[in-house]
Amino acid sequence: MLIRRPPDIETSEITDEKLYWNRREFIRSATGVVAGLATPSVLAACGEPRRAEAAERRAARDDELTPYEDVTSYNNFYEFGTDKRDPSRYAGSLRIRPWTVTVEGEVHKPGVWDIDDVLKLSPLEERVYRLRCVEAWSMVIPWQGFSLSEFIKRVEPTSHARFVAFYTLHDPEQMPGQRRRILDWPYVEGLRLDEAMHPLTLLTFGLYGRTLPNQNGAPIRLVIPWKYGFKSIKSIVRVRFLREQPVNTWQAEAAREYGFYANVNPNVDHPRWSQARERRIGEFRKRPTLMFNGYADQVGHMYAGMDLRRNF
């Protein structure tokens, strides 16, 4: 599904929430499956969805888009402060043009990409993904982007590349949260190469049909829907291909609490709280958390045979 590139989107053309609701109905009837997993184009790319568990079907049927207002005002982006409201208050200071993404390490084509050249690589698709935060809340968001694999293919990883690390901008002048050592800046995240190449892994430029708001990780971020939200790194300036598994920011901060994989798993609790249930933002009741955040059919095979208690 083609959505114009964010710089072309006029404010007057912003799709309002009602249209998204109608589109969800369309997706539901066109595919015979519940909306919320992915758009038809993504489903086609991943093969027909297999029969889901009853609980999963029920939970997915209840997926309603989280209002734009909540998506853009209840954020985790520690570069702008630790309060959920800080990013929307302070991220206005982030300059998103010019913006470059440096590619380095185990690739045949290292280099510096202008963000607008990255945007031209592939048409933007809309994908409705659940985002499940490690803090046990979740949202359902219509994102715009294309599979990260489209970008990775262009830079041609060498046969030694087994992992990819991503880095957020480090600039305390623009990011007031970085003036304090809340985390070991810059924020770093990592994926195994097969996870990075998985079609669901989204290189993201927009949400709700608009350019990504700064507080949501403008101008370019990842969204990896089967992993806890902290893997979905924002405002990326560097991508490094590696032979060895990198250490991600939260793992460096508290290795006992946050692992490298961070796959959503209701059966493995965080040492300080349960991960069995979650609260959808805007709702009061809690709902069961789904294995791999409901994307088990698409991604489970990548972890076959792995001890998910040890590789959390």
Q: Which residues bind ligand MTE (CB under 6 A)?
A: 75-79, 131, 133, 168, 187, 216-217, 229-230, 232-235
Question: Which residues, in sequence order, are bridge partners of residue 138?
Answer: 132, 280
Q: Least Å distance between CB 279 and ligand MTE? A: 13
Nearest residue (CB) to ligand MTE, 77 versus 261: 77
Q: Least Å distance between CB 158 and ligand MTE? A: 27
Q: Least Å distance between CB 64 and ligand MTE? A: 16
Residue nearest to ligand MTE as judged by C-beta position: 229
Nearest residue (CB) to ligand MTE, 59 versus 169: 169
Nearest residue (CB) to ligand MTE, 229 versus 246: 229
Q: Least Å distance between CB 223 and ligand MTE? A: 8
Question: Which residues, in sequence order, are bridge partners of residue 163?
Answer: 192, 242
Phi, psi angles (nearest 5°) of residue 144: -120, 130
Paired sense of beta strands 236-242 and 163-168, if any: antiparallel
Cβ atoms 198, 302 nearer than 8 A: yes
Phi, psi angles (nearest 5°) of residue 54: -60, -45
Distance CA 303, CA 192 (A): 11
Nearest residue (CB) to ligand MTE, 23 versus 221: 221
Nearest residue (CB) to ligand MTE, 190 versus 229: 229
Q: Least Å distance between CB 68 and ligand MTE? A: 12
Paired sense of beta strands 210-211 and 125-132, if any: unpaired
Nearest residue (CB) to ligand MTE, 40 versus 266: 266
Q: Least Å distance between CB 9 and ligand MTE? A: 18
Q: Which residues contact 57 (CB under 8 A, 6 or more apart)?
A: 34
Q: Least Å distance between CB 18 and ligand MTE? A: 22
- Locate the DSSP E strands across the chain: 100-105, 111-114, 125-132, 137-147, 163-168, 188-192, 202-207, 210-211, 221-223, 236-242, 277-280, 286-288
Query: What is the length of the chain?
Result: 312
Q: What angle do CA 12, 17, 21 make, to 5 degrees?
A: 135
Nearest residue (CB) to ligand MTE, 52 versus 91: 91
